Structure 1
Amino acid sequence: MSGNRAVAYKEPGVVEIIDTDYPTFELKDGPGVNPANVGRKVPHGAILRTVTTNICGSDQHMVRGRTTAPQDLVLGHEITGEVVEVGPDVEFIKVGDIVSVPFNISCGRCRNCKEQKTGICLNVNPDRPGSAYGYVDMGGWVGGQAEFVLVPYADWNLLRFPDRDQALEKIMDLTMLSDIFPTGFHGAVTAGVGVGSTVYVAGAGPVGLAAAVGAQLLGAAVVIVGDMNEDRLAQARSFGCETVNVSNGDPKEQIAQILGVPEVDCGVDAVGFEARGHGKDASHEAPATVLNSLMDITAAGGSLGIPGLYVTGDPGGIDDAAKHGSLSLSLGTGWAKSLSFTTGQCPVMKYNRQLMMAILHDKVQIAKAVNAKAIPLEDAPRGYAEFDAGAATKFVLNPNGYVKA
C-alpha cells in the first residue's frame, strides 16, 4: 500500500480531502505531531481500513478556528475499522477483525490506565496526560477520517466485535461506541442517574442525545433536554424525552412546568465552551451559562456530569479570560448545595463493551436516536457545513464502502 485519502483542516470553516501517506508502524513528522513523538516506534500497533468514521462536535471546535489546530491536521477520532496489518508485538488482534477504536489513546501500562482512567493515560502525549486521534495538542496521532489509520497498543485499545456479519449489519449503531455513546453515557453515570431519576441534559447535539439515551438506559424516570435548535429538540422528543427551548428563557421555569418543581436530581452539560446565553441573550456567547444554570437547577446533594468540551486555549474566546479557559463560575452555588462535578474525557473503555452488548442484543438504538446518516468521504466538507449550521444529524463517513445504501 502506498496511498491514503483523508479529511484535513485547512483554515477556519474549511476542510478538504487530501492525499496523505499510508500509515506505518512509526510516527512521522506532520501537522500537529508532537516533536517528541516523531520517530516513535509502534510495533504494538495495527493498521485499519476504516469502516466508518464520524464527524464530531469536538472536530467542529477546531474547524471553526476555536483552537490552535494547524493547517492540514488530519481530523477524526471516532473510528471503526477492519484490521489489515498488525505489528510484530500484537498477539491477540488478527487481520480481518472488525473493531471499535476508543477515541482516547492509552497504553494499558501506566497507573491511570490500570485504574480505568484511559482518558488521562500518562504515556501517549509528551505534553500532558491524555491523547486522541486527529486532535490539537493531543500528541499528534494522525486522525481517522481517512481510508486507513494506525492504532497503537492494538491488543489493549481495540474492541473486537464477536461476529463480522452482525457487526456490519449493526454498524451504524456500533460506530457510536468510539466516542459519543460512551461519552454521553459517562455524562449520565457521573451525574448520578439511576432508576427513577429526573435528569436535565443541556444540549441536543449528538452527545446530548446520547446522554439522554444513556439516562434512559440507566432507568431515569424523566429526561429533559434543553437546546435552542427546534430540529434537534424534535429529535430528542422522538425517543421519549421532554424538551425545553432555552431561547425562551431560563430552563428553570420550563422544568417546573414539566416536573412540578424547578429542579432535577441530575444535570449533564453536553454543550461545552461555546455555550450561549438563555432567553434574550441566546444570540450571544456566554461560556459559563450552562454550568451556572446546571448548578442552579440541580437539587442539593446532586451531581453534574460534564462531558462537554472545555479548553485551555480558545483564540475566539469572548474575552481574555475565556481565551485561556477561565470562566465566571458561581462556585459558591455549587459549594452551598454540596454539588459534585465530573469533567474531562470519557474513559471509553470503561463502558464500550457493555454498550456494545446492549446494541448487539437490541436493548438500544443509538443510531436512530442521533439520526445517523452515512455519507461518502468526499462529502465530508458538506457534512461539516450542515452540522455546523445546526442539522439534527450525526454524519458518518463511509470511506471504503462498507456501509451499504
Structure 2
Amino acid sequence: MPDNRGGLIRPRTAAGHYARLLSPNVLSAARVGLERDVTMRANRIANAVRVARRPGHTRMRGLIASPGGALRWRAVPSPAPPGPLGALVRPIAVATCDADRAMMLGRSIFPLPLHLGHEAVAEVVQIGAEVSGVRVGDRVVVPFQISCGQCTACRRGHTANCLSVPPTSMYGFGLSGGLWGGALADLMAVPFADAMLVGLPAGLAPTAATGVADNICDAYRQIAPHLPGLLAADPDTQVLLVGRIDDKDPLTSATVLFAALFARALGATHISVVDARPAFQERAAALGFQTLDPRHPRDWPVAALTVDATGTPAGLRNVLRHTAPDGICTCVWSMHRRGNIPLQAGYMRNLTLHIGRSHIRSHIPDVLDLMVTGRFQPELVTTNEASFDDAPAALREHCYGDALKTILTTQ
C-alpha cells in the first residue's frame, strides 16, 4: 500500500472501488451516457474490445490505472491507420486533470482499470486523405472531448454534446468515456482531425498549453462569458471562486487558480479564492489572490460572479448565498443527483445558475490568443514536471503529495 505523505486519502481497494460504483450517484451518472442512441455506444465499446483482443494486433505502451493505486505502463493496442477524416498524433506533453487524482485512487465515478491521460499537446504523425487543416509534423492541442465539427450541436459550438459520437465520448476516462484510449501513450487516434485539432501557436511551449485540452478551457468558460459585461457595469465587480472545502478531498483545484488568472487577465481586481488545502492557499497567495478560510463563510464577500467548484450540494448552496442579486454562479464538477437548491431565494434575487460541462473545442482559440499575448500564463499553476518514462512515479507523487498540476513530457 502506498504511503500517505501528503495527508491525502488512501486509494480504494478493488472491492471498495467496485462496491462504490453501485452507489445511487454513480448509477445515475451512468444512465446519462445511455440517454441517447444506446446502440451507438454499445457498438463503439464492442469495437474497441474486438480491436484489443485481435490476434497479432500491434501494441504500444499506455499508462493504466488499476484499483489499489496501481499505475503501470502496459502494452495496449496501437491505433489503426486513420480514416479519411482522421489523424494519428504522438503526445509530447500531457497534464494531469483535476479529476485524475481521484481516478487514480479509485475514488471517482469512473470504473478502473482505465487508460489515463486526456490533456495533451501532440505532434501529428499521420493524416487521412481528406484532412486539410493540419499537416504531418504540426504541433497541436488535442481537446479531450470527441467532436465531429459538422453536426447541429457542433455547429452551435456545443462540442461536448456532439451527435456523431456517443454521449460523454472522451479520452482518458475508460469505459465511461467510450474507450477512446488515453493521452499517456505512444499514439492517439483522432477521428475528426480538422474539427478537433488546433495548431499550437509559434512561441508557446507544449508544457504551458497542455491544460488547454480541458482544465484551462473549463476555467475560461467559468469567467469569460460573464465578467466583461459585469465589469462594464461596475469596475469594482467582486469575483468569488470556491474550491474544495474538505482538505481530504481527492480532486485537485488547479482549475480554480486558472479561473482566478482569467479573471485578472480580463480586468477584475477583486478576486477571492477558497480551498481547504494548504498547498492551494500558498500558491494562490503567491499569485496575489485573496485567500479565504472555507470554515468561515461569513467572511466571504457577496460577489456578482461566483464559481462553485466544491463538488457538494451544501457547497453549492453556500456559494449561492454569496452570489449577489442579479449575479451569476457557475457550478462545475457536481456529480450528485440532487442539490436542494434554494429556488425561492434565487428567484427573488434574480440569480443566474449555470450547471454543466465545458464545450472545450469551442474555447481553445480564444484561450490560446490570451496566452500568445502574455495576458494568461497557465504555467504559473504547474507544480511538478517529469518525463513519460518516469510517469508512474511522478503520478504517484501527484497522488500522495501536494501537487496541483503535473506535466509529463516525452522530451
The TM tier, using the shorter chain, reads 0.7 to 0.9
Structure 2 residue 403 is matched with structure 1 residue 385: no
Q: Which amino acid aligns with 2:348?
A: A
- 1:215 corresponds to which of 263, 283, 289: 263
Measure, in 1, the Cα distance between the counterparts of 2:65 and 2:405: 19
Q: How does 1:192-203 map to 2 (within 5 A)?
A: 192=227, 194-195=230-231, 196=235, 197-203=237-243
Measure, in 1, the Cα distance between the counterparts of 2:346 and 2:361: 30
- 1:292 corresponds to which of 313, 317, 326: 317
- 2:379 corresponds to which of 352, 363, 367: 367
Shift of 1:191: 5.2
> Residue in 2 aligned with 1:123?
164
Moved more, 177-186 or 4-13: 4-13
Shift of 1:15: 2.4
Measure, in 1, the Cα distance between the counterparts of 2:318 and 2:180: 36
Question: SS at 1:57's partner residue?
Answer: coil
| % identical aligned pairs | 27
> Residue in 2 aligned with 1:57?
98
Root-mean-square deviation (Å) = 2.2
Change (3 A) 1:147 1:140: same
Q: 2:141 touches 2:197 (CA, 8 Å); kept in 1?
A: yes
- 1:82 corresponds to which of 123, 140, 164: 123
Q: 2:309 touches 2:334 (CA, 8 Å); kept in 1?
A: no
> Residue in 2 aligned with 1:113?
154
List per-residue Cα deviations over 1:51-94 (Å, max 9, x = no partner). 11111122233223244534432111101100001122322211
Q: 2:91 touches 2:122 (CA, 8 Å); kept in 1?
A: yes
Question: SS at 1:351's partner residue?
Answer: helix
Give aligned pairs, total. Answer: 341
Q: 2:118 touches 2:144 (CA, 8 Å); kept in 1?
A: yes
> Residue in 2 aligned with 1:44?
85
> Residue in 2 aligned with 1:244?
292
Structure 2 residue 349 is matched with structure 1 residue 337: yes
> Residue in 2 aligned with 1:133?
171
Q: Which amino acid aligns with 1:161?
A: L
Change (3 A) 1:290 1:388: farther
Measure, in 1, the Cα distance between the counterparts of 2:315 and 2:206: 33
Measure, in 1, the Cα distance between the counterparts of 2:73 and 2:89: 19
Measure, in 2, the Cα distance between the counterparts of 1:232 and 1:269: 16
> Residue in 2 aligned with 1:310?
334
Structure 2 residue 370 is matched with structure 1 residue 358: yes
> Residue in 2 aligned with 1:155?
194
- 1:188 corresponds to which of 203, 215, 223: 223
TM-score by length of 1: 0.78
Q: 1:229 touches 1:390 (CA, 8 Å); kept in 2?
A: no
> Residue in 2 aligned with 1:316?
none
- 1:143 corresponds to which of 161, 178, 182: 182
Shift of 1:339: 1.4
Shift of 1:190: 4.9
TM-score by length of 2: 0.77
Question: SS at 1:131's partner residue?
Answer: coil
List per-residue Cα deviations over 1:179-212 (Å, max 9, x = no partner). 1211111111355464332111112721111111
Q: 2:201 touches 2:372 (CA, 8 Å); kept in 1?
A: no
Question: SS at 2:194's partner residue?
Answer: helix
Q: 1:55 touches 1:395 (CA, 8 Å); kept in 2?
A: yes
Structure 2 residue 76 is matched with structure 1 residue 20: yes
> Residue in 2 aligned with 1:32?
none
Shift of 1:295: 0.4
Q: 2:111 touches 2:176 (CA, 8 Å); kept in 1?
A: no
Measure, in 2, the Cα distance between the counterparts of 1:105 and 1:8: 20
Shift of 1:297: 0.5
Change (3 A) 1:383 1:200: farther
Moved more, 209-218 or 85-94: 85-94
